[in-house]
Structure 1
Amino acid sequence: MAQQTGILGIQGTVGGLVFAKDGSIRQKPASNKASFQAKDSMARVRENASEFGGAATASKLVRDSLRVAIQAASDKRMVSRLTQAMRAAIALDGVHDRGMRQVLKSNLAPLLGFNFNLGAGIGQNLFFQYTLTGNGQGVTLAIPSLNPQTDIAAPTGATHYEIVVGASSVNFLGKTYQQAAVAAPLGILPLNGAALTNRTVVATLPAAPGADDLVVGVLGVNYYQQLNGKYYPLNNNASNPLAVEYVNVVASAVPAGGGSATSYDTTLTGPNQDAQGVTLAASAGDTFGFNALATGGSAPASMDVSVGGAQVASVAYLDRYAGQAFTFTHNGAAHTGAFAATVNF
């Protein structure tokens, strides 16, 4: 839409003319849809456009399926980041031809640890032990012990908190999803209240997920301020953490482009060691194994690694490793995951 920027200034499109910000005027280029659909030189563009559209559709399915949980915990780039994650999953499809590749459940292990709100990480807000596990129609959160006065880093002004558990089952081929209902919520609790012990929350899907359905479980916290007996949400998305803590698919140890399913060619040892564009900061004796990549993106990225809800390591890496498999051993227990912003075991 055209906008008047001064007495005579116009910026935007009027009729068939484009008024540029620098004062220049040019004719609006004609759409050439037929050329785009038919020219051989546009084949790669058509393929990329098709796969990007598939990634956008898959991203929307996941967002819609978890809308109740993410409505109070997201950042401005959440949609684009989730679409990028789906685009990376499409790139792992080794079955279909370019331009026809799909989001397959088996390629979505890297979604584990996806943070819907970069301004509030799970590892920086929740400091209690927990597990999120799936079984058939249910996704269960188990909390052995939670002392809100020491285990939750609440923002200024908050007086109460609410543990958020959500789950959904998404079928990307059929473009359908189902949402889980939380059967036993913990409710809104005071931040200065007593500690909780042996609590469970179960999110139950309406029907058992199919073999091709991706089950996603998320965990987060909403904060409230109590005033005159009422609870008012802080309405500050920068404070509410929410992350994917469960998916019903195991990360493959085979990286894109090949590699061993049982061993890795590079191993780092804590407390501090680096190699091949990856740096590990962890406890002495912890190890981090991965397959080195010599080519690809070189933008810096970082990953927080948590075990049982407590952060135990930090990994700095080049973005070429995003989505690639790794193994992490902490206190003698081995865990397999994929490079992402946050990973929880």
Structure 2
Amino acid sequence: MARNNSFIRLEGTLDGLTFYRKNGESFVKTKNRVSKNRIMNDPAYARTRENMQEFGGAAKCSKALREAFAAITRLVSDSYVSSRITGKFRSIVGNGTGLRGERLYNIVDHVTQFIGFNFNIDKLFDANFNAPSDGPVINAGRDTVTWDIPDFSTDTYVRKPEGATHFKLALAAGYTSNYEWETATKSYVPVEDVPNGIGVVTYSDAIAIGGMVGTATNLTADLTAYAPIPATTALFGATAIVFFQMVNGELYELAQGHSMKIAVGG
């Protein structure tokens, strides 16, 4: 990679050179001429193939987690959430059993690495909502998550975006199976198909911004329909806040300002 100091600012590929801009500067690099066939068959690229296989596994784990929270992710996620979640999964495969390129994605034993993950890196949940509570709790059967928030002052503990008059707290919960390499298909597959990628979201009533709520808020994410839960499937619980504006007695969901984080796993 080299900087392009010419007064001509090209972008794109020309004669094997790729011109592009990054952080306000112009760069040029040579086009990669290594063929796909060589990457997939040359022994010199064995490590590359291993990394590609495990990256594919991380992408499938990421998709399952995002599907588990699909009912709310469109509200609370940034445009990079997919790649950020994939990166989180990629970081745990080094501890998995098996050969490189085929190592187990043991999510169940690494749920703590996901605690605190924010779906929007620019809208941190704890910055928007920090009322005292013990946080969500997973029951022994791992098929129910509860979150009890004592009465609190919305002026003190809620950071509202411009135009917000109300908000709802939300508790989302969903499952992601461990993933293993399947030789027959040469791909990663979930150890258990069900309830992999399944989740629910429950919302509080709308709460007016200004003063005390006036009562405790109790949320329950009920997943008992999928019990008993396989030991190779992880359950994640996420807390969220969604903002609204009241106009002529009707609540309208704001286009931005919402946030969510993974708060518990088991």
Of the three residues 35, 38, 57, the one matched with 2:38 is: 35
Per the TM alignment, residue 180 of structure 1 is displaced from its structure 2 partner at its CA by 2.5
User: Partners in 1 of 2:128 and 2:204 — Cα distance?
Assistant: 18
User: Partners in 2 of 1:228 and 1:77 — Cα distance?
Assistant: 36
User: Partners in 2 of 1:29 and 1:70 — Cα distance?
Assistant: 36
Structure 1 segments, 4+ long, off by >4 Å, are 10-14, 17-22, 28-31
User: Partners in 1 of 2:55 and 2:19 — Cα distance?
Assistant: 30
Deviations 1:153-184 (A, max 9, x none): 111211010101100112133253221253xx
SS at 2:164's partner residue? Answer: coil
Corresponding position: 1:44 with 2:44: no
Q: Is the 8 A contact 2:235 2:265 kept in 1?
A: yes
User: Partners in 2 of 1:72 and 1:199 — Cα distance?
Assistant: 21
User: Partners in 1 of 2:18 and 2:55 — Cα distance?
Assistant: 29
SS at 2:215's partner residue? Answer: strand
Per the TM alignment, residue 20 of structure 1 is displaced from its structure 2 partner at its CA by 5.3
Q: Write 1 or 2 for the structure with the bigger share of strand.
A: 1
2:241 matched to which residue of 1? 221
User: Partners in 1 of 2:120 and 2:215 — Cα distance?
Assistant: 28
2:226 matched to which residue of 1? 207
Of the three residues 161, 165, 168, the one matched with 2:171 is: 165
Q: Aligned AA for 1:102?
A: L
User: Partners in 2 of 1:20 and 1:39 — Cα distance?
Assistant: 26
User: Partners in 2 of 1:45 and 1:181 — Cα distance?
Assistant: 39
Per the TM alignment, residue 243 of structure 1 is displaced from its structure 2 partner at its CA by 0.2
Per the TM alignment, residue 18 of structure 1 is displaced from its structure 2 partner at its CA by 6.6
Q: Is the 8 A contact 1:51 1:102 kept in 2?
A: no
Q: Aligned AA for 1:198?
A: A
1:291 matched to which residue of 2? none
2:255 matched to which residue of 1? 235
Q: Is the 8 A contact 2:168 2:204 kept in 1?
A: yes
Equivalences, count: 229
Of the three residues 149, 163, 176, the one matched with 1:143 is: 149
2:103 matched to which residue of 1? 101
Q: Is the 8 A contact 2:170 2:201 kept in 1?
A: no
SS at 2:56's partner residue? Answer: helix
Q: Is the 8 A contact 1:89 1:108 kept in 2?
A: no
TM-score by length of 1: 0.60
Q: Aligned AA for 1:134?
A: I
Q: Is the 8 A contact 1:92 1:107 kept in 2?
A: no
Per the TM alignment, residue 30 of structure 1 is displaced from its structure 2 partner at its CA by 7.2
1:149-298 → structure 2 map (5 Å cutoff): 149-173=155-179, 174=190, 176-182=196-202, 185-192=203-210, 194-205=212-223, 206-208=225-227, 209-236=229-256, 239-248=257-266
Per the TM alignment, residue 203 of structure 1 is displaced from its structure 2 partner at its CA by 0.4
TM-score by length of 2: 0.77
User: Partners in 2 of 1:124 and 1:91 — Cα distance?
Assistant: 32
Q: Is the 8 A contact 2:171 2:201 kept in 1?
A: no
User: Partners in 1 of 2:35 and 2:18 — Cα distance?
Assistant: 22
Q: Aligned AA for 1:101?
A: R
User: Partners in 2 of 1:71 and 1:86 — Cα distance?
Assistant: 21
Tell me how large the CA RMSD over aligned residues is.
2.5
Q: Is the 8 A contact 1:122 1:243 kept in 2?
A: yes
1:323 matched to which residue of 2? none
Q: Is the 8 A contact 1:162 1:188 kept in 2?
A: yes
User: Partners in 2 of 1:195 and 1:29 — Cα distance?
Assistant: 59
Flag structure 2 segments of 5+ consecutive residues without an equivalent: 1-9, 21-30, 180-189
SS at 2:240's partner residue? Answer: strand
Q: Aligned AA for 1:245?
A: A
1:133 matched to which residue of 2? 137
CA 1:247–1:196 in structure 2 vs 1: closer, same or farther (change >3 Å)?
farther
Deviations 1:260-311 (A, max 9, x none): xxxxxxxxxxxxxxxxxxxxxxxxxxxxxxxxxxxxxxxxxxxxxxxxxxxx
SS at 2:246's partner residue? Answer: strand
Of the three residues 83, 91, 95, the one matched with 1:92 is: 95
User: Partners in 2 of 1:243 and 1:59 — Cα distance?
Assistant: 15
Q: Aligned AA for 2:161?
A: P
Q: Is the 8 A contact 1:59 1:83 kept in 2?
A: yes
Flag structure 1 segments of 5+ consecutive residues without an equivalent: 1-9, 23-27, 249-345
CA 1:107–1:143 in structure 2 vs 1: closer, same or farther (change >3 Å)?
same
Q: Is the 8 A contact 1:145 1:198 kept in 2?
A: yes
CA 1:41–1:20 in structure 2 vs 1: closer, same or farther (change >3 Å)?
closer
Corresponding position: 1:55 with 2:55: no
Q: Which has the higher contact order (CA 8 A, sep 6+)?
A: 2
Corresponding position: 1:116 with 2:134: no
Of the three residues 76, 80, 97, the one matched with 2:79 is: 76
